[in-house]
Amino acid sequence: MANEARANPAVMLNILGTDHTLKYSMHSVSQLKKLCGVNLIGADSVDLTDPDIIIGLVWAGLIASHKQYRGKFVNGEPDETIQRIIEAIGFEMTGSKVQECASAVREALLNSFGDSVQEAQPGPEASGKNA
């Protein structure tokens, strides 16, 4: 099953009013690093509780298959295309959509990179326990 997933790493996600393919390429990983400072390849883990990272991961997963969402970085800053898409994704992610997006991101990352990208485990402060 793992080999089958890597042969077709795409995951379907309904966002921005339609079904989209969510998957990751080296280009999308590079763009995510520019946007959020997250290096998926060299990271020990990825924090799927950070809203900026979840939104960035959804965007990065979209741009591997959907050219209209790519945009460019100018002087290190995202252009209007990227800003508009990031904002639209953020506004749409409420309630159960957050969990749906996080699950789709998890699956697409696993399909694209296997176990080389791990999800960060919440620390004691996240669970309300004192260390």
pLDDT digit string, tens, across residues 25-46: 999 999 999 999 988 887 667 8
The answer to whether residue 131 sits within a structural domain is no
User: pLDDT for 81-113, tens place per residue?
Assistant: 999 999 999 999 988 899 899 999 989 988 888
State the chain's maximal CA–CA distance in angstroms: 46
The answer to whether residue 60 sits within a structural domain is yes
| In contact, 32 and 95? CB cutoff 8 Å | no
Q: Is the pTM of this model over 0.85?
A: no
Q: Name the DSSP letter for residue 122.
A: P
Residue 55's domain comprises 2-115
The answer to whether residue 124 sits within a structural domain is no
* Cα 69 to Cα 50: distance, rounded to the nearest angstrom: 22
Q: What is the number of helices (H) and of strands (E) in the chain? A: 6, 4
The answer to whether residue 79 sits within a structural domain is yes
Give 52's contacts (C-beta < 8 A, 6+ positions apart).
36
The answer to whether residue 128 sits within a structural domain is no
- Residue 53 to residues 3, 56, 73, 78, 101, Cα–Cα distance (Å): 27, 5, 17, 15, 11
The answer to whether residue 6 sits within a structural domain is yes
The answer to whether residue 123 sits within a structural domain is no
Number of domains in the chain: 1
- Banded pLDDT at 118 (limits 50, 70, 90): low
The answer to whether residue 71 sits within a structural domain is yes
